[in-house]
Amino acid sequence: MALMNRSADDASGARPDESTEDSPRTTPSFGDYVRAYVALSKPRVIELLLITTIPVMFVAAGGVPPLWTAVATLLFGTMSAASANAINCYIDRDIDQEMRRTRRRPVAMAQVTPRGAMVYGLVLAVGSTVGFAVFVNWLSAALSVFAIAFYIFVYTMLLKRRTAQNVVWGGIAGCMPVLIGWSAITERLDWAPFILFLVVFFWTPPHTWALAMRYREDYAAAKVPMLPVVAGDRRVMLECVAYSWATVLVSLLLWPVAGTTLVYPVVAAVLGALLLVQAHRLLAKVNAGVTGAKLQTMGFFHLSNAYLALLFCAVTVDPLLAGIVP
């Protein structure tokens, strides 16, 4: 269940192009193997997935969710996401070596063998599925399997290397934690989680394209047709603005659909305004002829991260305020 294609970069201080020919070779320790497999799971991506899973459980429960159900959902959800990320590293090991942003991933650096990555991913997939089925419910297990399969077969193997729409439709896998979190509490699906599903769906493309504009040369070298590689800056920013508007408008629909307090729509409107202002500023820069690094798209990337985290914080807090504020 991956939301977007961010790298869990290696924490080592050495630079990717640094030669280590004369460095003494040492046998990797157990800790080295553990760190490599943790990196293979892309923990920073999983953090963002958990940010969307936890809040929806509060909405589904109308307050604090049952502790064991919440813990089990987060545990097996983490395993599910890690399995998809590990298998993604196995499949993409060739292009990961071509990109500065990803060349320090464990398989690309031969810290983990391709076979080891695949076995690790498959074991986690089976474990997460059985865990969901036994300790949560079958609907959550089925949604988890769908998310893993979609990320691997549809995004990684079918879309990523073939179309600029890769992150648009591939992003569906990153939306699934919302549905899984809701089904874990209620054992069914409803309109409220689908609203939050659409928030993540529309949020993903501009967030990812902002990063892709920064690493455009990397994607071009790896022959991955991200939109910033195959289209001009103005086209990319027009689509970023359009998707940002869709994100904000859909986020406000949760108010009437889920019957939130006034706190949620106020927070969503303020956060949405900040996101839209930044998106329109970038579009204005492009229209004024600013290109390349001077656009500073990473500012939008980091802002969109904060937007999603704070929006889902508001989703978490709102049910706790029911009965206190209108």
In a domain, 102, yes or no: yes
Residue 12 has pLDDT above 70, yes or no: no
Q: Which amino acid is at 294?
A: K
Q: Tell me which residue has tokens 């892709």.
A: 212
pTM: 0.88
Q: How far apart are CA 263 and CA 194, in angstroms?
A: 20
Q: Are 252 and 121 in a shared domain?
A: no
**Final residue of a domain: which of 113, 130, 164?**
164
Q: pLDDT by residue (tens digit) across 147-190?
A: 999 999 999 999 999 999 999 999 999 999 999 999 999 999 99
Distance, in Å, from the CA atom of 193 to the CA atom of 171, rounded to the nearest integer, reads: 16
Q: Is 323's pLDDT higher than 80?
A: no
Enclosing domain of residue 160: 34-164
* Token pair listed for 194: 């689908």
Whether 1 has a pLDDT exceeding 90, the answer reads no
Do 154 and 197 fall within a single domain?
Answer: no
- What are the pLDDT digits (tens) for 19-63? 334 444 567 777 777 898 999 998 888 887 888 999 999 999 999
* Length reported for the chain: 326
Q: Report the pLDDT averaged over residues 284-305.
A: 90
Q: Is position 7 within any domain?
A: no
Collect all residues with Cβ–Cβ distance below 8 Å to 88 and sequence separation of at least 6.
2, 151, 152, 156
Residues 202 and 75 grouped into a single domain? no
Report the C-alpha gap between 56 and 69 in whole angstroms: 13
Band (137; pLDDT cuts 50, 70, 90): very high
Pair 224, 131 in one domain: no
**Count of domains forming the chain:** 2
